[in-house]
Amino acid sequence: MDQNFPKGSRARVIIVGGGFGGIELAKKLRHQDIDVVMVDKHNYHTFQPLLYQVATGGLEAESIAFPLRKIFKGQRNLTFRVAELLAVDTQRNCIRTSIGTMEYDHLVLATGSTSNFFGQQEIQANAMPMKSIPEALNLRSLFLQNLELAQIEEDPQTLKQLLNFVVVGGGPTGVETAGAIAELKKHILKNDYPELNIDLVNIYLVEGSPEVLGVMSDQASKKAMDFLKELGVTVMTNTRVLGYDGKILKLGDKADIPASNVIWSAGVKGVIPEGMDPAVVVRGNRLKVNEISRVDGYHNIYAIGDVSAMITEEFPNGHPGVAPTAIQQGKLLAENLMKIMENKPTENFKYRDKGSMATVGRNRAVVDLHKIRFQGVFAWFTWMFVHLMTLVGFRNKLVVFVNWVWSYFSYDRGTRLIIRPYVKEKLNEQRTIE
Protein backbone atom coordinates (compact mmCIF):
# COMPACT_ATOMS: atom_id res chain seq x y z
CA MET A 1 0.00 0.00 0.00
CA ASP A 2 1.02 3.62 -0.51
CA GLN A 3 2.57 4.57 2.86
CA ASN A 4 2.05 8.26 2.11
CA PHE A 5 -1.64 7.87 1.72
CA PRO A 6 -2.99 5.32 4.19
CA LYS A 7 -6.72 4.70 4.55
CA GLY A 8 -8.22 6.05 7.76
CA SER A 9 -10.92 4.51 9.94
CA ARG A 10 -13.80 6.00 7.94
CA ALA A 11 -15.17 4.36 4.80
CA ARG A 12 -13.24 5.51 1.74
CA VAL A 13 -14.85 6.17 -1.64
CA ILE A 14 -12.38 6.62 -4.49
CA ILE A 15 -13.75 8.43 -7.53
CA VAL A 16 -11.60 8.19 -10.66
CA GLY A 17 -12.38 11.02 -13.07
CA GLY A 18 -13.21 14.67 -12.45
CA GLY A 19 -15.61 14.96 -15.37
CA PHE A 20 -19.30 15.78 -15.23
CA GLY A 21 -20.21 12.58 -13.36
CA GLY A 22 -17.30 12.45 -10.91
CA ILE A 23 -17.66 16.09 -9.86
CA GLU A 24 -21.37 15.80 -9.21
CA LEU A 25 -20.89 12.65 -7.16
CA ALA A 26 -18.04 14.11 -5.09
CA LYS A 27 -19.94 17.34 -4.40
CA LYS A 28 -23.01 15.45 -3.23
CA LEU A 29 -20.88 13.51 -0.74
CA ARG A 30 -19.62 16.76 0.78
CA HIS A 31 -21.34 16.55 4.17
CA GLN A 32 -21.02 12.81 4.71
CA ASP A 33 -18.93 11.17 7.40
CA ILE A 34 -16.72 9.34 4.91
CA ASP A 35 -13.42 9.95 3.11
CA VAL A 36 -13.69 10.82 -0.56
CA VAL A 37 -10.62 10.60 -2.79
CA MET A 38 -10.77 12.03 -6.28
CA VAL A 39 -8.13 10.96 -8.79
CA ASP A 40 -7.75 12.53 -12.22
CA LYS A 41 -4.85 12.51 -14.65
CA HIS A 42 -5.47 16.24 -15.22
CA ASN A 43 -5.73 18.89 -12.52
CA TYR A 44 -8.68 20.44 -14.33
CA HIS A 45 -12.18 19.65 -15.51
CA THR A 46 -12.76 19.93 -19.26
CA PHE A 47 -16.00 21.32 -20.66
CA GLN A 48 -15.98 19.13 -23.76
CA PRO A 49 -19.00 20.68 -25.52
CA LEU A 50 -16.89 23.76 -26.37
CA LEU A 51 -13.69 21.96 -27.41
CA TYR A 52 -14.45 22.63 -31.06
CA GLN A 53 -14.37 26.39 -30.36
CA VAL A 54 -10.86 26.02 -28.93
CA ALA A 55 -9.83 24.00 -31.99
CA THR A 56 -11.13 26.67 -34.36
CA GLY A 57 -9.64 29.63 -32.52
CA GLY A 58 -12.91 30.92 -31.04
CA LEU A 59 -12.04 30.45 -27.37
CA GLU A 60 -8.93 30.17 -25.27
CA ALA A 61 -8.34 26.73 -23.78
CA GLU A 62 -8.35 28.17 -20.25
CA SER A 63 -11.93 29.38 -20.61
CA ILE A 64 -13.33 25.85 -20.94
CA ALA A 65 -11.19 24.27 -18.21
CA PHE A 66 -11.55 24.65 -14.47
CA PRO A 67 -9.10 23.62 -11.70
CA LEU A 68 -10.44 20.59 -9.84
CA ARG A 69 -8.85 21.73 -6.57
CA LYS A 70 -10.84 24.95 -6.80
CA ILE A 71 -14.09 23.06 -7.36
CA PHE A 72 -13.53 21.15 -4.11
CA LYS A 73 -12.11 24.06 -2.11
CA GLY A 74 -13.38 23.76 1.45
CA GLN A 75 -14.66 20.20 1.04
CA ARG A 76 -12.98 18.78 4.13
CA ASN A 77 -13.78 15.12 3.49
CA LEU A 78 -12.20 15.18 0.00
CA THR A 79 -8.59 14.61 -1.02
CA PHE A 80 -7.61 15.27 -4.61
CA ARG A 81 -4.67 13.63 -6.38
CA VAL A 82 -3.38 14.19 -9.90
CA ALA A 83 -2.66 10.63 -10.96
CA GLU A 84 -3.43 8.28 -13.79
CA LEU A 85 -5.35 5.14 -12.93
CA LEU A 86 -3.39 2.19 -14.28
CA ALA A 87 -5.23 -0.85 -12.95
CA VAL A 88 -7.78 -2.04 -10.43
CA ASP A 89 -6.92 -4.89 -8.08
CA THR A 90 -10.42 -6.12 -7.38
CA GLN A 91 -9.20 -8.86 -5.04
CA ARG A 92 -7.30 -6.50 -2.72
CA ASN A 93 -9.73 -3.57 -3.13
CA CYS A 94 -7.08 -1.14 -4.30
CA ILE A 95 -6.17 0.84 -7.40
CA ARG A 96 -2.73 1.14 -8.91
CA THR A 97 -1.99 4.66 -10.13
CA SER A 98 0.96 6.58 -11.54
CA ILE A 99 1.72 7.85 -8.01
CA GLY A 100 1.16 4.68 -6.02
CA THR A 101 -1.49 2.35 -4.73
CA MET A 102 -4.66 3.41 -2.93
CA GLU A 103 -7.13 1.27 -1.02
CA TYR A 104 -10.86 1.74 -1.36
CA ASP A 105 -14.04 0.53 0.27
CA HIS A 106 -16.07 1.69 -2.71
CA LEU A 107 -14.62 2.53 -6.12
CA VAL A 108 -16.39 4.67 -8.71
CA LEU A 109 -15.08 4.71 -12.26
CA ALA A 110 -16.05 7.99 -13.94
CA THR A 111 -13.28 7.91 -16.51
CA GLY A 112 -15.41 8.98 -19.49
CA SER A 113 -14.63 8.02 -23.05
CA THR A 114 -12.02 8.46 -25.73
CA SER A 115 -12.13 8.57 -29.55
CA ASN A 116 -13.07 5.29 -31.16
CA PHE A 117 -11.24 4.53 -34.40
CA PHE A 118 -12.92 1.11 -34.62
CA GLY A 119 -9.58 -0.66 -34.89
CA GLN A 120 -8.46 1.28 -37.98
CA GLN A 121 -4.84 1.89 -37.07
CA GLU A 122 -3.85 3.91 -40.11
CA ILE A 123 -6.68 6.36 -39.47
CA GLN A 124 -5.84 6.52 -35.77
CA ALA A 125 -2.23 7.38 -36.56
CA ASN A 126 -3.11 10.18 -38.98
CA ALA A 127 -6.54 11.69 -38.27
CA MET A 128 -6.99 14.24 -35.48
CA PRO A 129 -9.22 13.39 -32.52
CA MET A 130 -10.86 16.10 -30.39
CA LYS A 131 -11.61 14.69 -26.94
CA SER A 132 -9.29 16.74 -24.76
CA ILE A 133 -7.85 20.24 -24.51
CA PRO A 134 -4.37 19.17 -25.73
CA GLU A 135 -6.04 17.52 -28.75
CA ALA A 136 -8.08 20.66 -29.50
CA LEU A 137 -4.88 22.72 -29.29
CA ASN A 138 -3.15 20.27 -31.63
CA LEU A 139 -5.96 20.79 -34.10
CA ARG A 140 -5.76 24.57 -33.87
CA SER A 141 -2.03 24.47 -34.48
CA LEU A 142 -2.35 22.02 -37.35
CA PHE A 143 -4.97 24.14 -39.15
CA LEU A 144 -2.93 27.31 -38.78
CA GLN A 145 0.36 25.62 -39.72
CA ASN A 146 -1.24 24.19 -42.87
CA LEU A 147 -2.61 27.60 -43.82
CA GLU A 148 0.86 29.09 -43.39
CA LEU A 149 2.29 26.33 -45.61
CA ALA A 150 -0.46 26.92 -48.18
CA GLN A 151 0.62 30.57 -48.52
CA ILE A 152 3.96 29.49 -49.96
CA GLU A 153 2.95 26.25 -51.71
CA GLU A 154 3.39 26.19 -55.47
CA ASP A 155 2.32 22.64 -56.31
CA PRO A 156 -1.48 22.73 -56.99
CA GLN A 157 -2.06 19.18 -55.71
CA THR A 158 -0.29 19.83 -52.39
CA LEU A 159 -2.10 23.17 -52.11
CA LYS A 160 -5.44 21.41 -52.50
CA GLN A 161 -4.46 18.93 -49.79
CA LEU A 162 -3.45 21.70 -47.38
CA LEU A 163 -6.71 23.58 -47.90
CA ASN A 164 -9.14 20.69 -47.66
CA PHE A 165 -10.76 20.27 -44.23
CA VAL A 166 -12.63 17.03 -43.64
CA VAL A 167 -14.72 16.34 -40.55
CA VAL A 168 -15.58 12.66 -40.17
CA GLY A 169 -18.79 11.97 -38.23
CA GLY A 170 -22.05 13.85 -38.59
CA GLY A 171 -23.14 13.86 -34.93
CA PRO A 172 -23.42 17.12 -32.95
CA THR A 173 -19.63 17.46 -32.58
CA GLY A 174 -18.95 16.95 -36.29
CA VAL A 175 -21.72 19.31 -37.36
CA GLU A 176 -20.59 22.02 -34.94
CA THR A 177 -16.96 21.68 -35.98
CA ALA A 178 -17.73 21.81 -39.72
CA GLY A 179 -19.92 24.89 -39.14
CA ALA A 180 -17.17 26.62 -37.16
CA ILE A 181 -14.54 25.97 -39.86
CA ALA A 182 -16.95 27.34 -42.47
CA GLU A 183 -17.38 30.50 -40.39
CA LEU A 184 -13.60 30.76 -40.10
CA LYS A 185 -13.30 30.59 -43.88
CA LYS A 186 -16.06 33.16 -44.42
CA HIS A 187 -15.02 35.82 -41.94
CA ILE A 188 -11.36 35.33 -41.02
CA LEU A 189 -9.21 33.58 -43.57
CA LYS A 190 -9.62 36.07 -46.38
CA ASN A 191 -8.34 38.85 -44.11
CA ASP A 192 -5.61 36.84 -42.42
CA TYR A 193 -4.28 35.28 -45.63
CA PRO A 194 -4.74 37.88 -48.37
CA GLU A 195 -2.30 36.05 -50.69
CA LEU A 196 -4.37 32.87 -50.56
CA ASN A 197 -7.23 32.10 -52.94
CA ILE A 198 -9.87 31.40 -50.27
CA ASP A 199 -12.15 29.74 -52.84
CA LEU A 200 -9.71 26.82 -52.75
CA VAL A 201 -10.59 26.13 -49.10
CA ASN A 202 -13.09 23.27 -49.03
CA ILE A 203 -14.90 21.85 -46.02
CA TYR A 204 -16.36 18.35 -46.11
CA LEU A 205 -18.52 16.57 -43.57
CA VAL A 206 -18.44 12.79 -44.07
CA GLU A 207 -21.11 10.64 -42.40
CA GLY A 208 -21.70 6.90 -42.74
CA SER A 209 -25.47 6.99 -42.17
CA PRO A 210 -28.06 8.66 -44.44
CA GLU A 211 -28.32 11.85 -42.35
CA VAL A 212 -26.45 14.18 -40.06
CA LEU A 213 -27.58 14.59 -36.42
CA GLY A 214 -29.20 11.16 -36.55
CA VAL A 215 -29.72 11.32 -32.76
CA MET A 216 -32.02 14.31 -33.13
CA SER A 217 -35.45 14.78 -34.78
CA ASP A 218 -35.87 14.61 -38.58
CA GLN A 219 -36.69 18.29 -38.52
CA ALA A 220 -33.41 19.15 -36.76
CA SER A 221 -31.46 16.82 -39.00
CA LYS A 222 -32.83 18.32 -42.23
CA LYS A 223 -32.41 21.87 -41.03
CA ALA A 224 -28.81 21.22 -39.97
CA MET A 225 -28.15 19.87 -43.46
CA ASP A 226 -29.60 23.09 -44.97
CA PHE A 227 -27.51 25.24 -42.64
CA LEU A 228 -24.34 23.39 -43.54
CA LYS A 229 -25.04 23.78 -47.26
CA GLU A 230 -25.72 27.51 -46.80
CA LEU A 231 -22.29 27.77 -45.19
CA GLY A 232 -20.68 26.01 -48.14
CA VAL A 233 -19.94 22.69 -46.40
CA THR A 234 -20.02 19.66 -48.71
CA VAL A 235 -22.01 17.06 -46.78
CA MET A 236 -21.36 13.45 -47.83
CA THR A 237 -23.83 11.07 -46.20
CA ASN A 238 -23.88 7.27 -46.69
CA THR A 239 -20.11 7.54 -47.00
CA ARG A 240 -17.65 5.38 -45.14
CA VAL A 241 -14.01 6.24 -44.55
CA LEU A 242 -11.79 3.31 -45.48
CA GLY A 243 -8.37 4.74 -44.80
CA TYR A 244 -6.29 7.85 -44.26
CA ASP A 245 -2.52 8.01 -44.67
CA GLY A 246 -2.16 11.65 -43.66
CA LYS A 247 -2.54 12.84 -47.24
CA ILE A 248 -5.41 11.03 -48.92
CA LEU A 249 -8.73 10.16 -47.33
CA LYS A 250 -10.05 6.98 -48.94
CA LEU A 251 -13.80 6.75 -49.17
CA GLY A 252 -16.01 3.73 -49.99
CA ASP A 253 -17.52 4.22 -53.43
CA LYS A 254 -16.72 7.91 -53.75
CA ALA A 255 -13.64 9.75 -55.00
CA ASP A 256 -10.73 10.04 -52.55
CA ILE A 257 -10.17 13.44 -50.93
CA PRO A 258 -6.64 14.80 -50.65
CA ALA A 259 -6.55 16.40 -47.19
CA SER A 260 -4.04 17.40 -44.53
CA ASN A 261 -6.77 18.38 -42.08
CA VAL A 262 -8.94 15.43 -41.04
CA ILE A 263 -10.89 15.65 -37.80
CA TRP A 264 -12.19 12.38 -36.39
CA SER A 265 -15.49 12.68 -34.52
CA ALA A 266 -17.05 9.43 -35.64
CA GLY A 267 -17.40 7.67 -32.33
CA VAL A 268 -16.25 7.17 -28.74
CA LYS A 269 -15.42 4.24 -26.49
CA GLY A 270 -15.27 3.96 -22.73
CA VAL A 271 -11.96 4.28 -20.85
CA ILE A 272 -11.68 1.08 -18.82
CA PRO A 273 -8.68 0.33 -16.58
CA GLU A 274 -6.88 -2.97 -16.53
CA GLY A 275 -8.08 -5.48 -14.00
CA MET A 276 -11.78 -5.38 -14.81
CA ASP A 277 -13.38 -8.63 -15.94
CA PRO A 278 -13.68 -8.53 -19.78
CA ALA A 279 -17.04 -10.29 -19.44
CA VAL A 280 -18.61 -7.07 -18.13
CA VAL A 281 -17.40 -4.97 -21.05
CA VAL A 282 -20.18 -4.37 -23.56
CA ARG A 283 -20.68 -2.48 -26.84
CA GLY A 284 -18.72 0.78 -27.02
CA ASN A 285 -16.16 -0.59 -24.55
CA ARG A 286 -18.39 0.32 -21.63
CA LEU A 287 -18.88 -1.38 -18.29
CA LYS A 288 -22.24 -3.05 -17.83
CA VAL A 289 -23.87 -1.67 -14.70
CA ASN A 290 -27.16 -2.31 -12.93
CA GLU A 291 -29.79 0.32 -12.17
CA ILE A 292 -27.82 1.75 -9.26
CA SER A 293 -24.63 1.99 -11.42
CA ARG A 294 -22.95 -1.02 -9.79
CA VAL A 295 -20.71 -2.91 -12.23
CA ASP A 296 -22.02 -6.42 -12.90
CA GLY A 297 -20.28 -9.05 -10.81
CA TYR A 298 -18.68 -6.64 -8.30
CA HIS A 299 -20.12 -5.65 -4.94
CA ASN A 300 -18.19 -2.40 -4.41
CA ILE A 301 -17.26 -1.09 -7.88
CA TYR A 302 -19.48 1.39 -9.70
CA ALA A 303 -19.32 3.15 -13.07
CA ILE A 304 -21.12 6.33 -14.15
CA GLY A 305 -21.30 8.48 -17.28
CA ASP A 306 -19.67 7.64 -20.61
CA VAL A 307 -17.73 4.63 -19.30
CA SER A 308 -20.90 2.87 -18.18
CA ALA A 309 -23.73 1.10 -19.96
CA MET A 310 -26.93 0.82 -17.93
CA ILE A 311 -28.93 -1.46 -20.16
CA THR A 312 -32.67 -1.28 -19.55
CA GLU A 313 -35.77 -2.06 -21.58
CA GLU A 314 -36.11 1.61 -22.45
CA PHE A 315 -32.38 1.99 -23.21
CA PRO A 316 -31.21 -1.31 -24.76
CA ASN A 317 -27.89 0.31 -25.75
CA GLY A 318 -27.43 2.19 -22.49
CA HIS A 319 -28.19 5.88 -21.92
CA PRO A 320 -26.96 8.62 -24.25
CA GLY A 321 -23.29 9.55 -23.80
CA VAL A 322 -24.01 13.13 -22.78
CA ALA A 323 -23.29 15.31 -19.78
CA PRO A 324 -26.80 15.10 -18.24
CA THR A 325 -26.53 11.29 -18.04
CA ALA A 326 -23.23 11.51 -16.15
CA ILE A 327 -24.50 14.29 -13.86
CA GLN A 328 -27.74 12.50 -13.01
CA GLN A 329 -25.98 9.19 -12.41
CA GLY A 330 -23.38 10.87 -10.19
CA LYS A 331 -26.07 12.58 -8.15
CA LEU A 332 -28.10 9.42 -7.56
CA LEU A 333 -25.04 7.30 -6.83
CA ALA A 334 -24.07 9.68 -4.00
CA GLU A 335 -27.42 9.01 -2.37
CA ASN A 336 -27.27 5.28 -3.03
CA LEU A 337 -23.73 4.90 -1.70
CA MET A 338 -24.82 6.38 1.60
CA LYS A 339 -27.88 4.10 1.64
CA ILE A 340 -25.67 1.09 0.95
CA MET A 341 -23.35 2.06 3.81
CA GLU A 342 -26.35 2.50 6.10
CA ASN A 343 -28.00 -0.74 4.92
CA LYS A 344 -31.01 1.08 3.53
CA PRO A 345 -32.87 0.24 0.30
CA THR A 346 -31.45 1.92 -2.81
CA GLU A 347 -33.25 3.80 -5.57
CA ASN A 348 -33.08 2.86 -9.24
CA PHE A 349 -31.85 5.36 -11.83
CA LYS A 350 -34.43 7.15 -13.94
CA TYR A 351 -33.07 9.25 -16.79
CA ARG A 352 -34.54 12.71 -17.27
CA ASP A 353 -34.04 13.61 -20.91
CA LYS A 354 -33.21 17.31 -21.14
CA GLY A 355 -33.43 17.42 -24.94
CA SER A 356 -30.61 18.03 -27.39
CA MET A 357 -29.21 20.85 -29.44
CA ALA A 358 -26.43 21.67 -31.87
CA THR A 359 -25.17 24.89 -33.40
CA VAL A 360 -24.14 25.25 -37.02
CA GLY A 361 -22.26 28.52 -37.09
CA ARG A 362 -23.44 32.04 -36.39
CA ASN A 363 -27.19 32.55 -35.92
CA ARG A 364 -27.91 28.95 -36.81
CA ALA A 365 -28.75 26.15 -34.40
CA VAL A 366 -31.26 23.34 -33.95
CA VAL A 367 -32.98 22.55 -30.67
CA ASP A 368 -35.16 19.56 -29.74
CA LEU A 369 -36.82 19.92 -26.35
CA HIS A 370 -39.01 16.83 -26.47
CA LYS A 371 -42.01 17.90 -28.59
CA ILE A 372 -40.89 21.51 -28.82
CA ARG A 373 -38.52 21.93 -31.74
CA PHE A 374 -37.10 25.09 -33.17
CA GLN A 375 -34.24 26.18 -35.36
CA GLY A 376 -32.44 29.36 -36.41
CA VAL A 377 -31.50 32.49 -34.46
CA PHE A 378 -33.62 31.82 -31.36
CA ALA A 379 -32.24 28.27 -31.21
CA TRP A 380 -28.74 29.72 -31.46
CA PHE A 381 -29.32 32.06 -28.50
CA THR A 382 -30.84 29.14 -26.57
CA TRP A 383 -27.77 27.03 -27.34
CA MET A 384 -25.47 29.82 -26.12
CA PHE A 385 -27.47 30.40 -22.94
CA VAL A 386 -27.54 26.69 -22.01
CA HIS A 387 -23.81 26.28 -22.62
CA LEU A 388 -22.94 29.41 -20.66
CA MET A 389 -25.05 28.25 -17.73
CA THR A 390 -23.48 24.77 -17.67
CA LEU A 391 -19.88 26.00 -17.91
CA VAL A 392 -18.05 25.51 -14.61
CA GLY A 393 -16.87 28.69 -12.88
CA PHE A 394 -18.09 32.30 -12.95
CA ARG A 395 -14.87 33.57 -14.53
CA ASN A 396 -15.20 31.07 -17.38
CA LYS A 397 -18.81 32.06 -17.95
CA LEU A 398 -17.81 35.71 -18.11
CA VAL A 399 -14.80 35.16 -20.39
CA VAL A 400 -16.80 33.00 -22.80
CA PHE A 401 -19.70 35.48 -22.80
CA VAL A 402 -17.41 38.43 -23.54
CA ASN A 403 -15.65 36.42 -26.27
CA TRP A 404 -18.94 35.52 -27.92
CA VAL A 405 -20.27 39.08 -27.79
CA TRP A 406 -16.98 40.38 -29.20
CA SER A 407 -16.98 37.79 -32.01
CA TYR A 408 -20.63 38.48 -32.80
CA PHE A 409 -20.08 42.17 -33.42
CA SER A 410 -16.53 42.08 -34.80
CA TYR A 411 -16.82 38.84 -36.82
CA ASP A 412 -13.43 38.03 -35.29
CA ARG A 413 -12.06 34.93 -33.55
CA GLY A 414 -9.36 35.98 -31.14
CA THR A 415 -7.04 33.04 -30.59
CA ARG A 416 -5.45 32.11 -33.90
CA LEU A 417 -2.14 31.35 -32.26
CA ILE A 418 0.41 28.61 -32.89
CA ILE A 419 1.81 28.58 -29.37
CA ARG A 420 2.59 24.91 -29.20
CA PRO A 421 3.38 23.76 -32.76
CA TYR A 422 1.85 20.46 -33.72
CA VAL A 423 4.44 17.83 -34.61
CA LYS A 424 2.95 14.72 -36.14
CA GLU A 425 5.74 12.39 -35.03
CA LYS A 426 4.87 13.17 -31.41
CA LEU A 427 1.25 12.20 -31.89
CA ASN A 428 1.32 8.68 -30.54
CA GLU A 429 3.51 9.68 -27.63
CA GLN A 430 1.06 12.48 -26.76
CA ARG A 431 -1.99 10.26 -27.12
CA THR A 432 -0.76 7.86 -24.48
CA ILE A 433 -0.37 10.58 -21.89
CA GLU A 434 -3.37 12.80 -22.69
Ligand X SMILES: Cc1cc2nc3c(=O)[nH]c(=O)nc-3n(C[C@H](O)[C@H](O)[C@H](O)COP(=O)(O)OP(=O)(O)OC[C@H]3O[C@@H](n4cnc5c(N)ncnc54)[C@H](O)[C@@H]3O)c2cc1C
Confirm or reject binding of residue 322 to ligand X (CB under 6 A).
yes
Confirm or reject binding of residue 21 to ligand X (CB under 6 A).
yes
Whether 183 is catalytic: no
Binding mask 64-103 for ligand X (x = CB under 6 A): --------------------xx------------------
Binding mask 384-413 for ligand X (x = CB under 6 A): ------------------------------
> Residue-wise over 140-160: b if at least 16 C-beta within 10 A, else e?
bbbbbbbbeebeebeeeeebb
Binding mask 166-205 for ligand X (x = CB under 6 A): ------xx--------------------------------
For ligand X, give the closer residue by CB, 26 or 231. 26
Please give the order of strands across the beta sheet that includes 100-103: 85-89, 94-97, 100-103
Residue 316 one-letter amino acid: P
Interaction residues for ligand X, span 26-45 (CB under 6 A): 39-42
Helix pair angle (323-341, 20-28), 10° resolution: 30
Q: Is 415 exposed, middle or buried (0-12, 13-18, 19+ CB in 10 A)?
A: middle
SS3 202: strand
Confirm or reject binding of residue 323 to ligand X (CB under 6 A).
yes
> Segment near ligand X (CB under 6 A), from 1-9, 203-211, 248-256, 315-323?
315-323
Q: How far is the CB of 329 from ligand X (least distance, A)?
A: 8
Which residue from 69, 34, 11 is spatially nearest to 392, judged by alpha carbons?
69
Q: How far is the CB of 145 from ligand X (least distance, A)?
A: 21
Confirm or reject binding of residue 321 to ligand X (CB under 6 A).
yes
Contact criterion met (CB below 8 Å) for 110 and 306: no
| CA-based torsion, 148, 149, 153, 157: positive or negative | negative
Q: What phi and psi, each to the nearest 5 degrees, are found at residue 315?
A: -125, 75
Please name every residue paired with 161 in a beta bridge, in sequence order, or none if there are none.
none
Interaction residues for ligand X, span 249-278 (CB under 6 A): 271
Confirm or reject binding of residue 48 to ligand X (CB under 6 A).
yes
For ligand X, give the closer residue by CB, 35 or 135. 135
> Segment near ligand X (CB under 6 A), from 7-15, 109-117, 199-207, 244-252?
109-117
Q: How far is the CB of 251 from ligand X (least distance, A)?
A: 23
Kindly give, in sequence order, each residue whose CB lies less than 8 Å from that of residue 298, ignoring residues fewer than 6 positions away.
90, 280
| CA-based torsion, 165, 168, 173, 175: positive or negative | positive
Q: How far is the CB of 353 from ligand X (least distance, A)?
A: 11
- 7, 12, 35, 49: which one binds ligand X (CB under 6 A): 49
Q: Round the CA-based radius of gyration of the chain to a whole number and report it.
A: 22
Catalytic one among 24, 103, 135, 176?
176
Residues of this chain that bind ligand X (CB under 6 A): 16-22, 39-42, 48-49, 51-52, 84-85, 110-112, 130-131, 172-173, 271, 305-307, 321-324, 326
